[in-house]
Structures are given as C-alpha cells and as structure tokens.
Amino acid sequence: MSYVLKRTAQAIFTVFATISLTFGLVRLLPGGPVDYLRAQMLQQGGDLTTEQINRQIEAQTNIAVDEPLYVQYVDYMASILTGDLGQSTWHGDPVVDILGGAIPWTIFIMSVSLFLAFVIGISLGSFMAYREGSRFDVSSTVVALLLNSTPSYVVGLLALTFLAYRGGLFPTGGHYASGLEPGLSPEFLLSAAHHGALPILSMTVVAFGGWALDMRGNSIRVLGADYLHVARLRGLSERRIALRYVARNAILPMYTGLMIAIGTMIGGAVIIEEIFSYPGVGYYLVSAIDQRDYPVMMGAFILITVAVVIGIYVADLTYGKLDPRAKRGESRESY
Amino acid sequence: MSRTETSDFETLSETQLTRSERYRQLVDELVLAPARIVWHDWRARIAVVIISGFLFLGTVGVRLVEEPRTNQGGRLVGAFRTLEHPLGTTASGVDILSQITYATVPMLQMITAGAIFSVIMATVIGTTSGYKGGLVDSVLMTLTDVLLTIPGLPLVIVLAGVLPIAGNPYAIGVLLSINAWAGLARALRSQVLTLRDAEYVEASRIMGISTPKILSADIVPNLMPYITMNFVQQARAVIFGSVGLYFLGILPYNRTNWGVMMNDAVRQAGATSSATAFHWLLMPMLAVILLSMGLTLFAQSADRLFNPRVRARHAKTVGGDDTDEVSS
C-alpha cells in the first residue's frame, strides 16, 4: 500500500473514530445527553407524548432513540457525514449554521499565531545558536524558558487587562467592529486584524520560546557536523551553507512538532477565545457546556477534530517533499 | 560433564562486598550521585528549590497557614500591604496566601496522577509496539495515531461536560492526560526500533527470556531520559490544562484551585478592568508560572542525570568499579 493511500485511510479512520466516540458519549452514557434531553422535555412540556419527545430528540441529536442501537449508530454516522450536526437546544438553529460561521475565525487566529511563533522562533533560535554562549544567547534562553512556562491564557488575561481595558488600545471582544459589512473592504480587514491582534499575540508569545529552544539545539548539533567542514572546504558561500546546510537540517526535525502544535493550538484557542469573547468554535464549545447544549458541544468537538485531522494530513503529505529521507513502509521482522 | 565440576558461570567473584557496603553503594548510585549532579547545574538548583518549595507548601504549609474562609481580613486588601495578609485578600475577605497554599495540595495530586498515567501508558504501548512489530505494532500505532490527532483539550472539555466526574484531583489528572501519552508512545517506539536489534537484546532473545522481561530489563532503562523529560512535560501540561479549565468553570470542584481563584477574581471583582482586584488575579498566575518554570528547568537539567559520563564523574562508589577520572 502506498504511503499516501495509507495516510488517507488513517485520516478517514480518525474522523470515523471521533464521530463514533461522540455517538457513544451521547447515547450510551447513563444520565448522558439523551437522558438529560428527555428529562428536560418531560419537565417543560407536560403533555408531550413519548413519540413527540423521541422526534424532538432525533431532530436535535440525530439519534432515533426508538430504533435498535445499530440502526441508531448507522443513522447518526450517515447524517453527520452528510453535514447534518443536529439542532441547537439553546439557539434553536442548526448546529452547522452556528459553527460554520465560527470556524474561519478560529482558523484565522490559530494559523496566524502558529505561523508567527514558528518564524520568530526559528530566526531567534538560529541566531542564538550562532552566538552560542554569548550574553545574548543566555538571556534569550532565560526569556524563552520563562515564556515557555507561561500558559497562553495568562498572557491573554494580562493583555486584556493592560492593552484592552486600561490602555484602551484594543477592543475587548468580537470579530470586527459592529456595523461593518464583512467583505474585502480595507476597513473590514483592518477591523478584523485589530480584533484578532490580542488573541494572536497571546498564543504567539507563549509559543515562540519553545520553537527557539528547539531550533537552537538542532542548529548547534548541525553546526558541529562533518559535512559542514566539507562544505567550507569546498568553498561554498556562507549564505548557501547557512540556508541549505544548517537551516534545512535543523528545521526538518521540528516538522513533526509543528504538526502536533496544530492540534494543541486549537485546544489553547478554546480558552483564549473565551477570554477575548472571540466567537470562534471554542467559544461556542464553552458556552454550549454552560447551557448544556449537547448538540452544539458534540458538533464543535467533531468540527475541531476534522480541522486538526486535515491540518496534520496536509502537513504529513508535504513532509516527504521536504525530506527525501522520510521514506516509510520498509517491512520489519516481528518477534 | 560430572556434577562436581563447576562451570565458569557458577564461579564466584573473589572480592565480595559486605551487606553494608552494598547498601552504601546502592545509596550512592541511586541517591547521592544524582543529587551531586543536580547540585552542579544552576538550572537544577533553581528547579529543586522551587519544586521543594511547593512540596513544602502542600505538606507543611497547610499546617502553618489558616484554612481559607470568608472575612479573614478586610475586603480586597492589596498585596504586600500588611504582614497579616502578605498576598492580600479577596472581595469577600479571604486570605490569598492561604488560598494559594491550600490549592497546592490537589494540584500536586493532579500532576502526579496525570504524569504517572501518561508515562506508564506511553511506555507500555510504545515499547511493546516497537519491539513486537508486525500486527501488534500496526494495531497499537493506529490507536496511538488516532489519539494523537484528536485535539486534547477540546476532548477533555467534552468529557468533563458529559461524564459524571466528581472533583477528585486524581481522576481529573488522569482525564487531562487521556491522550497525552500518544506523542511519547510514538517517540519511544522509534527509539525501541533502534534498540531491538542491539546485540545484547538479541542475546536475551536467543536465551529465551520473556518479552516483558526483555522490555523492562534491556530496553526501558535506555529510554529513561525520554521518560523523565516527558513526565515533567506532562506535569506541566496538567497544570496548564487544569488551571485553564477551572478558570473557564468547566471542571467540577470542591476545593480551592488557582484557576477557580482567577475565575472568581475576574467574574466577581472584574480584576481585568479594575486595579483594586488585580492582585487577586495575579497571585494564582504567578503560582502557575513559578511551578511550571521549576518543572521546565528540572526537565532541562535532568538530561545530565542520565549521561553516563556525568554520572561517572559524580559517583563515589565503595571500591569495585575502576572509575576513570574524567577531566572536568
């Protein structure tokens, strides 16, 4: 089986497993979401028949509770794969509509901060390695360690306190100024950047230190390698050595870390979105838990997972292009 | 071969250590040498001071400091104003120092549970998968990859919202590490792949030693640097995650927690917009940063603990091994 095929199957399987997991949580837990919804409906509308309650539950969770379990499962799978995530119990709207409008914003702040943290981290790290042992190196290491020990929400809360409330430099919530028409107009783009700045800043600040330390370590290892001496003896230009020999070999090992960071960043974005009242997927996930809005909660989780799976899938497939050594699939003897 | 003839494998060494000598050697190897190494590194020294400070707070501190309750002092006393309330008080007059102290206990329990859980899961799955290969490897690694891709914090949030977990710190620590072991398991597997064909492992295999025994005696000791580093990293992840989720008000609680304190400070006193309550928000933040800083520094210096050269330099065994003096 070719690598691409295998990797694709694995991505599909992950999505499949996640949806199955949410089905299990909704349906199989005693006292779980389905039981909760039923109890709530019995309490509110006194004269609803069991039939009506079951219909209502089905509309909200995509689970036909009066069918046998395997039929429920197949139906649930089918409806979610066709893009029907059910209906919010709190807002009354389809979950897809609520979350569909939110996910671009989450991806926006997440990808920008990931990109910035990676670029700043790599530049800083290689510079630190180049000046190894200098005062710049030592003080940068201390700063990087300190930032690395700080959760993004702490930076977020400090930024909110000083830059938004007291400094008045940035808004304290929302995607863009009210009254603006979403589109490609400069005012809208500027306003979106202004509103996204603090969430992006909070996630970037805590992340670049870790990248810098990784890059520093890798670069120092590469700088001592024999092939660099050979390259110098061959009379290659310093620029070529720095980019083609040092940078490339130091960055490649960090690629896996970058993929994992995609996953953890979305998790971090949940808390950041809540702090800045930034209505992304994480924001809706948290408010759904407060309101016990199970369909939105499960939908947000599925959507976040799919986004992460796609991100890692793309990153994984491009890795082979960057590093020709990354060939897999050689058979190994089993004991 | 007659029975009286002894084979080479049964001859005893001519120099034998007495029991007390052996114990002393063991203590030196397991306790004193690591302690000497740790004390040689400035990062480790700071780390040990910070971590033992929190351990002290969680064990002795709770006996020295009064339990937090309302009206221990005035409302919103600032930090470093009075000796009675060195870190100030909250809007309902609770002493912040006593809150920080009493929140340390469940935090340490959570960290321990989460870190132990993820390290054990990762070691068992990663080593078995890498060593056994074949079908076992494929199945375990598919499972690992699935868990590796599912975003951790959202998964924990959903589980905390659905599962009827009480505020048990051990359960929360494990819940927060529910898929954290996957990354380490992958890293360990690739390390095992390089070890499984080493001569001494092959020798054990030919001698018919069982797989669990080969794994625990021949393979895992080589992976200890990775495992320790990840133990500490996971401890930090549990701090970040638990404080964040307590701050959001998602995890159920029955005792004070730094995240709960931050939540109260923001929601009750508007600490982000009002200056008089800011210390209430700042103190738990500093506690989080300090503890995770201690753990990070420890992980950085723990690297040296497993370096055989550094170890040899600091070991003072009771005769026996001929220790080369490594120039320092």
DSSP string, B93-143: --BHHHHHHHHHHHHHHHHHHHHHHHHHHHHHHHHHHHHH-HHHHHHHHHH
Position with higher pLDDT, A189 vs A260: A189
pLDDT band, very low/low/confident/very high, at B113 (cuts 50, 70, 90): very high
pLDDT exceeds cutoff 50 at B327: no
SS3 content of chain B, % helix, strand, coil (to 5): 70, 0, 30
Cα–Cα distance measured from residue B240 to residue B242, given in angstroms and rounded to the nearest whole number: 6
**Mean pLDDT across B191-216:** 85
Share of chain A above pLDDT 90, in %: 15
Local structure of B89: helix, strand or coil? strand
**Per-residue confidence (pLDDT) for residue B3, from 0 to 100:** 52
**Per-residue confidence (pLDDT) for residue A28, from 0 to 100:** 79
Report the b/e string of A8-32 with b at 16+ CB within 10 A.
eebbeebbebbbebbbebbbeeeeb
Nearest CB neighbour to A270, from listed B145, B157, B243:
B157
pLDDT band, very low/low/confident/very high, at B56 (cuts 50, 70, 90): very high
**Per-residue confidence (pLDDT) for residue A7, from 0 to 100:** 84
Position with higher pLDDT, B75 vs A133: A133
Position with higher pLDDT, A113 vs B42: A113
**Per-residue confidence (pLDDT) for residue B1, from 0 to 100:** 46
Q: Report the 10 Å Cβ neighbour count for B72.
A: 21
User: What are the angstrom distances between the C-alpha of B311 and each of A281, B316, B323?
Assistant: 50, 10, 11
- Backbone phi and psi for residue A161, each to the nearest 5 degrees, phi listed first: -65, -55
Cα–Cα distance measured from residue A18 to residue B257, given in angstroms and rounded to the nearest whole number: 31
Most confident of A215-229, B97-111, B203-217, B291-305: B97-111
Closest CA to A267 of B154, B261, B228: B154
Question: What residue has token string 């058979």?
Answer: A331
**Mean pLDDT across B188-210:** 85
Tens of pLDDT, residue by residue over B161-172, are: 888 777 788 988
Tens of pLDDT, residue by residue over A191-229, are: 888 898 999 999 999 989 889 988 898 888 888 788 888
**Per-residue confidence (pLDDT) for residue A82, from 0 to 100:** 86
Nearest CB neighbour to A267, from listed B153, B247, B272:
B153
pLDDT exceeds cutoff 90 at A308: no
**Mean pLDDT across B252-276:** 83
What DSSP designation does B172 have? H
Q: How far is A40 from chain B (nearest CA, A)?
A: 16
Nearest CB neighbour to B154, from listed A290, A292, A301:
A301
pLDDT band, very low/low/confident/very high, at A317 (cuts 50, 70, 90): confident
Provide, as residue numbers in chain A, all residues whose Cβ is less than 8 Å from the Cβ of B300: 145
pLDDT exceeds cutoff 70 at B6: no
Tens of pLDDT, residue by residue over B285-298, are: 999 999 999 998 88
Closest CA to B182 of B132, B138, B124, B223: B124
**Per-residue confidence (pLDDT) for residue A324, from 0 to 100:** 63
* DSSP per position, B57-79: IIIIIHHHSPPP-TTSSSTTPPT
**Per-residue confidence (pLDDT) for residue B7, from 0 to 100:** 65
Q: How far is B320 from chain A (nearest CA, A)?
A: 36
The number of C-beta contacts closer than 8 angstroms across A and B is: 146
Task: Count CA atoms closer than 13 A to B104's CA, side-chain side.
Answer: 28
Contact predicate B242/B251, CB 8 Å: yes
Share of chain A above pLDDT 70, in %: 94
Cα–Cα distance measured from residue A235 to residue A18, given in angstroms and rounded to the nearest whole number: 54
Cα–Cα distance measured from residue B304 to residue B295, given in angstroms and rounded to the nearest whole number: 15
Q: What contacts B136, CB < 8 A, 6 or more positions away?
A: A334, B128, B129
**Mean pLDDT across A45-57:** 75
**Mean pLDDT across B134-147:** 88
pLDDT exceeds cutoff 50 at B318: no
Most confident of A184-188, A199-203, A288-292, B254-258: A199-203
Structure tokens at A218: 């890798």
User: What are the angstrom distances between the C-alpha of A149 and each of A46, A116, A128, B29, B51?
Assistant: 53, 19, 19, 31, 14
pTM for the predicted model, two decimal places: 0.83
Nearest CB neighbour to B162, from listed A13, A29, A160:
A29
Q: How far is B36 from chain A (nearest CA, A)?
A: 23
Among B153, B286, B295, the strongest candidate for a mutation testing the A interface, having the largest count of A CBs within 10 A, is B153
Cα–Cα distance measured from residue A193 to residue A182, given in angstroms and rounded to the nearest whole number: 13
Report the b/e string of B232-268 with b at 16+ CB within 10 A.
bbbbbbbbbbbbbbbbbbbbebeebbbbbbbbbbbee
**Per-residue confidence (pLDDT) for residue B323, from 0 to 100:** 42
- Backbone phi and psi for residue B252, each to the nearest 5 degrees, phi listed first: -75, 145
* Long-range own/partner contacts, residues A75-82 (CB < 8 A, 24 or more apart): A76/A19, A76/A23, A76/A27, A77/A16, A77/A19, A77/A20, A77/A23, A80/A19, A80/A302, A81/A19
Cα–Cα distance measured from residue A6 to residue A87, given in angstroms and rounded to the nearest whole number: 35
**Per-residue confidence (pLDDT) for residue A112, from 0 to 100:** 93
Closest CA to A305 of B149, B62, B158: B149
pLDDT exceeds cutoff 50 at A180: yes
Cα–Cα distance measured from residue A267 to residue A273, given in angstroms and rounded to the nearest whole number: 10
B268 to chain A, any CB pair closer than 8 A? The answer is no
pLDDT exceeds cutoff 70 at B174: yes
**Per-residue confidence (pLDDT) for residue B309, from 0 to 100:** 63
Q: Report the 10 Å Cβ neighbour count for A186.
A: 7
Does the model's ipTM exceed the 0.90 cut?
Answer: no
Cα–Cα distance measured from residue B5 to residue B10, given in angstroms and rounded to the nearest whole number: 10
* DSSP per position, B189-252: HHHHHHHTTSHHHHHHHHTT--HHHHIIIIIHHHHHHHHHHHHHHHHHHHHHHHHHHHHHT-S-
Burial class of A75 by CB neighbour count within 10 A (0 to 12, 13 to 18, 19+): middle
- Written as one letter, the residue type at B202 is E
Q: What contacts A182, CB < 8 A, 6 or more positions away?
A: A176, A188
Position with higher pLDDT, B3 vs A257: A257
Q: How far is A289 from chain B (nearest CA, A)?
A: 6
Structure tokens at A124: 């800083």
Structure tokens at B115: 């870190």
**Mean pLDDT across A106-124:** 92
**Per-residue confidence (pLDDT) for residue B319, from 0 to 100:** 45
For chain A, give the mean pLDDT.
83
For chain B, give the mean pLDDT.
81
**Mean pLDDT across B52-68:** 87
